[in-house]
Structure 1
Amino acid sequence: MRLRSSDVSLRALGNETIVLSLPTSQYFTATGVGSRLLELLGEDVDVDDLVAAVVAEYEIDGDTARQDVEKFIGRLRDAQLLH
């Protein structure tokens, strides 16, 4: 999966990432781990890749990371921002 690059505009402002869905004009914000996940979703990755990155880069256990990543991905899917 990856972000729909043709349908999404991303802007980093300080420690926050602003995501604009071009088809719907909805915007979302992410900070910290969410910003990092958005960066990783610029490439074709799967949930396991994202969880591994979060566990490696942040002080979090695998189960918690998986729950958080799946919740974040679910929000992006609901907004139709992923391929």
Structure 2
Amino acid sequence: MRLRTADISARTIGGETIVLDLPSSQYFAITGIGSRVFELLSEERSVDDLVVAILAEYDVDEATARQDVEAFVDRLHQARLLA
């Protein structure tokens, strides 16, 4: 999975990622680990890939990382931000 790139715009400012879905004109604000996962999804990644990256970069246990990544990815799917 990866982000749709043709019709979304995103900028990270001060640790917060602001995303504009151009077709729907919806704004999303992403903070914390979500900003990093969003960044990682600029390339094709699996949930397992995302969890491994988060474990390498943050002080979090695997169960928590997986739960948070899966919940965040689910929200991205619901918002139709993934290709």
Q: Give the TM bin, normalised by the shorter chain.
A: over 0.9
What's the % identity of the aligned pairs?
61
- How many residues get paired? 83
Question: Gaps (5+ residues) in structure 2?
Answer: none
For the residue of structure 1 that corresponds to 2:4, the secondary structure is coil
Contact preservation (8 Å) 1:7, 1:81: no
Distance between the aligned counterparts of 2:7 and 2:81, measured in 1?
7
Matched, 1:77 2:77: yes
Which stretch shows the higher mean deviation, 44-53 or 6-15? 6-15
Which AA in structure 1 matches 2:69?
V
The TM-score with structure 2 as length reference comes to: 0.96
For the residue of structure 1 that corresponds to 2:27, the secondary structure is strand
Alpha-carbon shift at residue 13 of structure 1 (Å)? 1.2
Counterpart position of 1:36: 36
The runs of at least 4 consecutive aligned structure 1 residues that moved more than 3 Å come to: none
> How much is the aligned-residue C-alpha RMSD, in angstroms?
0.7
Distance between the aligned counterparts of 1:27 and 1:74, measured in 2?
17
Which AA in structure 2 matches 1:16?
E
The TM-score with structure 1 as length reference comes to: 0.96
Matches within 5 A, 1:1-83: 1-83=1-83
